[in-house]
Protein backbone atom coordinates (compact mmCIF):
# COMPACT_ATOMS: atom_id res chain seq x y z
CA UNK A 1 0.00 0.00 0.00
CA UNK A 2 1.34 3.42 -0.90
CA UNK A 3 1.15 5.91 1.96
CA UNK A 4 1.21 9.50 0.73
CA UNK A 5 2.52 12.16 3.06
CA UNK A 6 2.72 15.82 2.16
CA UNK A 7 5.55 17.92 3.56
CA UNK A 8 4.25 21.46 3.93
CA UNK A 9 6.92 24.14 3.99
CA UNK A 10 7.25 25.81 7.38
CA UNK A 11 8.13 29.49 7.32
CA UNK A 12 9.68 30.75 10.50
CA UNK A 13 11.96 33.11 12.27
CA UNK A 14 12.51 34.21 15.86
CA UNK A 15 8.76 34.96 16.15
CA UNK A 16 7.71 31.34 15.50
CA UNK A 17 6.55 29.12 12.67
CA UNK A 18 3.80 29.38 10.06
CA UNK A 19 2.57 26.74 7.62
CA UNK A 20 0.24 27.71 4.77
CA UNK A 21 -1.74 25.04 2.90
CA UNK A 22 -3.39 26.06 -0.34
CA UNK A 23 -6.04 23.92 -2.00
CA UNK A 24 -5.05 22.50 -5.39
CA UNK A 25 -1.50 23.83 -4.95
CA UNK A 26 -0.30 22.07 -1.81
CA UNK A 27 -3.02 19.40 -1.73
CA UNK A 28 -4.85 17.69 -4.61
CA UNK A 29 -8.39 18.92 -3.94
CA UNK A 30 -10.52 21.93 -3.09
CA UNK A 31 -11.15 22.09 0.68
CA UNK A 32 -14.88 22.05 1.45
CA UNK A 33 -14.75 21.20 5.15
CA UNK A 34 -12.27 21.63 8.01
CA UNK A 35 -12.55 20.06 11.43
CA UNK A 36 -10.26 19.02 14.25
CA UNK A 37 -10.16 16.40 16.98
CA UNK A 38 -8.72 17.11 20.43
CA UNK A 39 -8.98 16.04 24.09
CA UNK A 40 -9.12 12.40 23.02
CA UNK A 41 -8.84 10.18 26.08
CA UNK A 42 -6.11 7.56 26.45
CA UNK A 43 -6.97 4.26 24.80
CA UNK A 44 -9.71 5.71 22.59
CA UNK A 45 -9.78 4.82 18.88
CA UNK A 46 -11.72 7.02 16.47
CA UNK A 47 -12.79 6.78 12.88
CA UNK A 48 -13.83 3.21 12.04
CA UNK A 49 -15.10 4.18 8.59
CA UNK A 50 -14.29 4.80 4.96
CA UNK A 51 -15.80 7.15 2.39
CA UNK A 52 -17.18 6.54 -1.06
CA UNK A 53 -16.00 9.84 -2.57
CA UNK A 54 -14.41 12.07 0.08
CA UNK A 55 -10.64 12.69 0.19
CA UNK A 56 -8.81 14.00 3.25
CA UNK A 57 -5.52 15.40 4.48
CA UNK A 58 -4.81 14.79 8.18
CA UNK A 59 -2.33 16.99 10.03
CA UNK A 60 -1.50 16.53 13.69
CA UNK A 61 -0.88 20.21 14.37
CA UNK A 62 0.02 19.52 18.00
CA UNK A 63 1.16 16.37 19.77
CA UNK A 64 0.99 13.04 17.99
CA UNK A 65 -1.32 10.23 16.97
CA UNK A 66 -1.31 7.11 14.82
CA UNK A 67 -3.47 6.30 11.83
CA UNK A 68 -4.41 2.76 10.80
CA UNK A 69 -5.12 2.55 7.06
CA UNK A 70 -6.75 -0.40 5.28
CA UNK A 71 -7.52 -0.54 1.56
CA UNK A 72 -9.19 -3.95 1.78
CA UNK A 73 -6.02 -5.81 0.80
CA UNK A 74 -3.19 -4.25 2.82
CA UNK A 75 -2.86 -2.24 6.01
CA UNK A 76 -0.42 0.41 7.15
CA UNK A 77 0.25 2.25 10.40
CA UNK A 78 1.28 5.89 10.10
CA UNK A 79 2.57 8.18 12.84
CA UNK A 80 1.64 11.84 12.61
CA UNK A 81 3.82 13.96 14.88
CA UNK A 82 4.95 16.95 12.80
CA UNK A 83 2.73 20.02 12.35
CA UNK A 84 4.15 20.58 8.85
CA UNK A 85 3.36 17.07 7.57
CA UNK A 86 0.01 15.84 6.26
CA UNK A 87 -1.30 12.36 5.46
CA UNK A 88 -3.44 11.99 2.34
CA UNK A 89 -6.34 9.54 2.67
CA UNK A 90 -8.23 8.68 -0.50
CA UNK A 91 -11.78 7.49 -0.69
CA UNK A 92 -12.26 3.72 -0.38
CA UNK A 93 -9.76 3.66 2.51
CA UNK A 94 -10.76 2.42 5.96
CA UNK A 95 -9.22 4.58 8.69
CA UNK A 96 -8.85 4.48 12.44
CA UNK A 97 -7.08 7.10 14.54
CA UNK A 98 -5.53 6.07 17.85
CA UNK A 99 -2.73 6.49 20.38
CA UNK A 100 -3.37 10.23 20.73
CA UNK A 101 -0.92 12.07 22.96
CA UNK A 102 -2.72 14.04 25.70
CA UNK A 103 -2.03 17.30 23.85
CA UNK A 104 -2.91 16.04 20.33
CA UNK A 105 -4.89 18.20 17.93
CA UNK A 106 -5.66 16.41 14.67
CA UNK A 107 -6.73 18.76 11.87
CA UNK A 108 -8.68 17.31 8.93
CA UNK A 109 -9.06 18.98 5.54
CA UNK A 110 -11.87 17.36 3.55
CA UNK A 111 -12.85 17.55 -0.12
CA UNK A 112 -16.60 17.49 0.55
CA UNK A 113 -19.14 18.89 2.96
CA UNK A 114 -20.44 16.48 5.58
CA UNK A 115 -22.72 13.88 4.02
CA UNK A 116 -23.66 10.84 6.08
CA UNK A 117 -24.56 8.95 2.87
CA UNK A 118 -20.86 9.08 1.86
CA UNK A 119 -19.75 7.18 4.99
CA UNK A 120 -19.17 3.43 5.07
CA UNK A 121 -19.30 2.50 8.74
CA UNK A 122 -19.53 -1.30 8.47
CA UNK A 123 -16.18 -2.98 7.77
CA UNK A 124 -17.75 -5.96 5.98
CA UNK A 125 -19.72 -3.60 3.70
CA UNK A 126 -16.45 -1.75 3.02
CA UNK A 127 -14.65 -4.97 2.05
CA UNK A 128 -17.50 -5.99 -0.25
CA UNK A 129 -17.50 -2.56 -1.94
CA UNK A 130 -13.73 -2.66 -2.51
CA UNK A 131 -13.79 -6.17 -3.92
CA UNK A 132 -16.87 -5.46 -6.08
CA UNK A 133 -15.13 -2.41 -7.58
CA UNK A 134 -12.04 -4.48 -8.40
CA UNK A 135 -14.17 -7.21 -9.98
CA UNK A 136 -16.04 -4.67 -12.14
CA UNK A 137 -12.89 -3.00 -13.51
In this structure, is the dihedral angle defined by the CA atoms of residues 74, 109, 7 and 52, taken in order, positive or negative?
positive
Mean pLDDT of the chain: 95
Q: pTM of this prediction?
A: 0.92
CA dist 26 to 16, 55, 89, Å?
A: 21, 14, 15
Q: What is the mean pLDDT of residues 63-74?
A: 97
* Domains parsed from the chain with CATH numbers: 4-8+19-111 (2.60.120.10)
49 is catalytic: yes
Which of the residues 11, 49, 62, 131 is marked catalytic?
A: 49
Amino acid sequence: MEVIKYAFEPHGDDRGQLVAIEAQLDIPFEVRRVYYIYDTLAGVRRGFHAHQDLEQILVCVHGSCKIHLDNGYETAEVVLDKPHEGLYISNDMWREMYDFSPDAVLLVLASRHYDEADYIRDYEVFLKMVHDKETNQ
